[in-house]
Amino acid sequence: MTTRVGTVNVETTRVKIEERPMGGLTFDWAVVGFSAWFLGGLYLDGWAHNHVAQLETFFTPWHAVFYSGYFAVAGFLAFSMWRHHNKGHLWMRSLPEGYQLTMLGVPIFFLGGIGDMIWHIVFGIERNLEALFSPTHLILATGIALIVSGPLRAAWHRSPSKGWSGLLPMLLSLTFLLSLLTFMTQFAHPVAEPWIAQKISKAQIHSAIYTMNASGAAQTRLTHLPESEETSPVLSPDGSKIAFASNRDGNQEIYLMNADGTGSVNLTQNKAEDFLPAWSPDGSKIAFVSTRDQNDEIYVMNANGSGQTRLTNNPASDWKPTWSPDGKQIAFTSDREGNLEVYVMNADGSNPVNITKNGARDWRPSWSPVSNQIVFASNRDGNIEVYLINADGTGLVNLTNNQANDYQPTWSPDGKQIAFVSERDENAEIYVMNADGSNPINISNNPGMEESFPSWAQNKIAFSSTGHSILSQDVASFDAREFGQIIGMLSILLQVGLLMGLVLLAVRRWPLPFGSLTLIFLLNAVLMITQSDDDTLRALPQALMFGGIAGLFADLLLWQLRPSLQRLWVYRVFAFTAPLALYGVYFAMLQLSKGISWTVHLWTGALVLTGVVGFLLSYLIVPPREQSKDFPG
């Protein structure tokens, strides 16, 4: 380019600057802020999938926060590259030192998102553990890791800083990276999944009552009687109560408990067998089956157990009552005509009418809460399928049409979906499909258990679950308690490795100010409690105390020992004692809140092993051959 100054021609050319632009705390803070938005969106989305029912669409508020965080940090990095390029820096060298991989994470995440969309179209939506380890989600996680760790790498390349003002962006970046790793391994995190508090044993092979969100998340066991069979739970219309059958008093009775498993009351108190309860639409009555008249008949009672009245009076067997939306009729199963059929009668037991009229077995009806349609199970096509029929017997449709057995259907409260039991995954699992039979999804996804009797109200599904053989072992030889101990031990050692690997790396590089480890432990504990099945607000104070107290102990160790490369033996002592402080506090708080199901031999051994893991990691991060070397500045 030529410019004229007076009569003199001045030739100017654009200078290509080989050096990278200067970074600094201002740039670090900007990336930390956008990363907090980005990672916070990830945890918010994870919380929603663990606690909010029916998240079957991509377009949710949680995804909006997550992806807007991505576009915010990507936009900031792209703008910074453009601005520095206009100043003469080469495109490939237009970000400060340490942020090369951060910019690489932007297209990796974008391509992972495109791949994830294609993956879902081809293979369907991932559930539970699949959602953490599907290939496209691992690509997305790689992109996030490269982005949020930018300030950590930038600080590493600069001369070591001191104090909170110089190290806080690095500490937050390290915590974000740790929290991404713990998010991806939340199934094996002692805060999100406190295995050592779970009192499980061989007796768990008996049926127990569980609840879960309609998405399959937050599966929670409600009954814990090791020698009892707890079956056929039904949620009240408002979702506050559960009626169920149990033999805890020697014979099957109908019990009522709160939806959180507390306050169990025997409603029937009869020496006969009482089972298969069903709530009326207004929640004032419960229909059920009883053998008190020498054969299976349908009875009704008030929700408090009073006014028990027989509705059917037939020598045959009548089962599985289900109410019409207006409460004026009841559908049920009966073999009074020689084989199982679905009948409809008035709510007082009068005028029973056979609506299926088929030589096959038709049973377990469920009446839509919003229409005159009934779903039921039938083997009329050779195997057990879920069918839809109008209450007058017209409009029969096969909804499942699958070679596996599908049965025990129940409607969602809005009548748009149907939960049912299917054996298509080689064990009984609870599936949810649309009311027209489309998009069946396994939501229970428990290969080690047999699920049955789903019941849907509000945003919850209650169900019964029974243990069965695992890895082709006989049930009697499978020790669920030992299995839980193994998983719990591996969870602790894995998380110690992730945490101490990053902490020891930071301690090697920087003189961390007092409170640094408290920040790391506390923030990670708070984030991880959002992924727990527990109510987040109720569990938050416990997470704050755990992270705060454990971090304080670790900070006191760091302050007292002052580990460094020049005092390597102290560095290794710190590596051993810091995880002891963390998990010593964890075990103590767990004992005070939920209790520890492990023996003293097991949990003290686990505590020692956490120190061993930290000690061995110190040799990986600072090998013995570096003992005489100063750290390069």
Q: Whole-angstrom Cα distance, residue 253 to residue 123?
A: 44
Specify the long-range contacts of residues 423-431, CB closer than 8 Å, at least 24 apart: 427/468, 428/452, 430/216, 430/454, 430/461, 430/463, 431/406
Which range (52-61, 152-161, 401-410, 618-627) has the least confidence? 52-61
How many other C-beta atoms can be found within 10 angstroms of the C-beta atom of residue 227? 8
Percent share of the chain, pLDDT over 70: 87
Q: pTM for the whole thing?
A: 0.62
Predicted local distance difference test score (pLDDT) of residue 473: 36
Predicted local distance difference test score (pLDDT) of residue 308: 96
Q: Whole-angstrom Cα distance, residue 51 to residue 46?
A: 9
545 band by pLDDT with thresholds 50, 70 and 90: confident
Predicted local distance difference test score (pLDDT) of residue 455: 96
Predicted local distance difference test score (pLDDT) of residue 591: 80
225 HSE (CA, 13 A, CB side): 15
Residue 450 has pLDDT above 90, yes or no: no
Hey, CA dihedral for 191, 192, 196, 197, is it positive or negative? positive
Q: For the residues 498-506, what does the mean pLDDT come to?
A: 94
Predicted local distance difference test score (pLDDT) of residue 344: 97
According to the 3-state scheme, what is the secondary structure of 247-315?
CCCCCCEEEEEECCCCCCEECCCCCCCEEEEEECCCCCEEEEEECCCCCCEEEEEECCCCCCEECCCCC
Residue 266 has pLDDT above 50, yes or no: yes
Residue 470 has pLDDT above 50, yes or no: no
498 HSE (CA, 13 A, CB side): 24
Predicted local distance difference test score (pLDDT) of residue 536: 58
Structure tokens at 443: 């939501």
152-205 pLDDT per residue, tens: 999 998 887 788 989 999 999 999 999 999 999 988 887 777 666 554 444 445
92-110 pLDDT per residue, tens: 888 888 898 999 999 999 9
Predicted local distance difference test score (pLDDT) of residue 547: 82
Predicted local distance difference test score (pLDDT) of residue 543: 75
Structure tokens at 251: 């014979």
> Quick one: DSSP state of residue 22?
P
Q: Whole-angstrom Cα distance, residue 333 to residue 354?
A: 9
How many other C-beta atoms can be found within 10 angstroms of the C-beta atom of residue 155? 25
Predicted local distance difference test score (pLDDT) of residue 364: 94
558-577 pLDDT per residue, tens: 999 999 888 899 999 999 99
Predicted local distance difference test score (pLDDT) of residue 221: 86
The CA angle 311-313-315, to the nearest 5 degrees, is 145
Q: How many residues does the chain have?
A: 633
Hey, CA dihedral for 469, 470, 476, 482, is it positive or negative? negative
276 band by pLDDT with thresholds 50, 70 and 90: very high
467 band by pLDDT with thresholds 50, 70 and 90: low
Integer distance in angstroms from the first to the last C-alpha of the chain? 43
Predicted local distance difference test score (pLDDT) of residue 535: 59
Structure tokens at 595: 């209790």
Predicted local distance difference test score (pLDDT) of residue 5: 43
Residues 6+ apart with CB under 8 A from 104: 146
Hey, CA dihedral for 268, 272, 277, 280, is it positive or negative? negative
Predicted local distance difference test score (pLDDT) of residue 4: 47
* 385-390 sheet: strands from edge to edge: 362-367, 373-378, 385-390, 397-398
Burial class (CB in 10 A: 0-12, 13-18, 19+), 427: middle
Give the mean pLDDT of the chain: 86
Q: Which of 254, 200, 96 is nearest to 484 (CA)?
A: 200
Predicted local distance difference test score (pLDDT) of residue 476: 39
Predicted local distance difference test score (pLDDT) of residue 504: 95
Q: Whole-angstrom Cα distance, residue 395 to residue 160?
A: 76
How many other C-beta atoms can be found within 10 angstroms of the C-beta atom of residue 138? 12
CA distances from 542 to 197, 220, 262 (A): 15, 19, 22
345-366 pLDDT per residue, tens: 999 999 999 999 998 999 999 9
Q: For the residues 41-48, what does the mean pLDDT come to?
A: 86
Asked if 603 and 539 count as a contact pair (C-beta separation under 8 A), the reply is no
Residue 399 has pLDDT above 60, yes or no: yes
Predicted local distance difference test score (pLDDT) of residue 431: 95
Predicted local distance difference test score (pLDDT) of residue 402: 87
Hey, CA dihedral for 319, 413, 280, 342, is it positive or negative? negative
Predicted local distance difference test score (pLDDT) of residue 12: 38
Q: Whole-angstrom Cα distance, residue 94 to residue 90?
A: 6
Asked if 77 and 102 count as a contact pair (C-beta separation under 8 A), the reply is yes
284-341 pLDDT per residue, tens: 999 999 999 888 999 999 999 999 999 999 999 999 999 999 999 999 999 998 899 9
Q: Residue 587, SS3?
A: helix
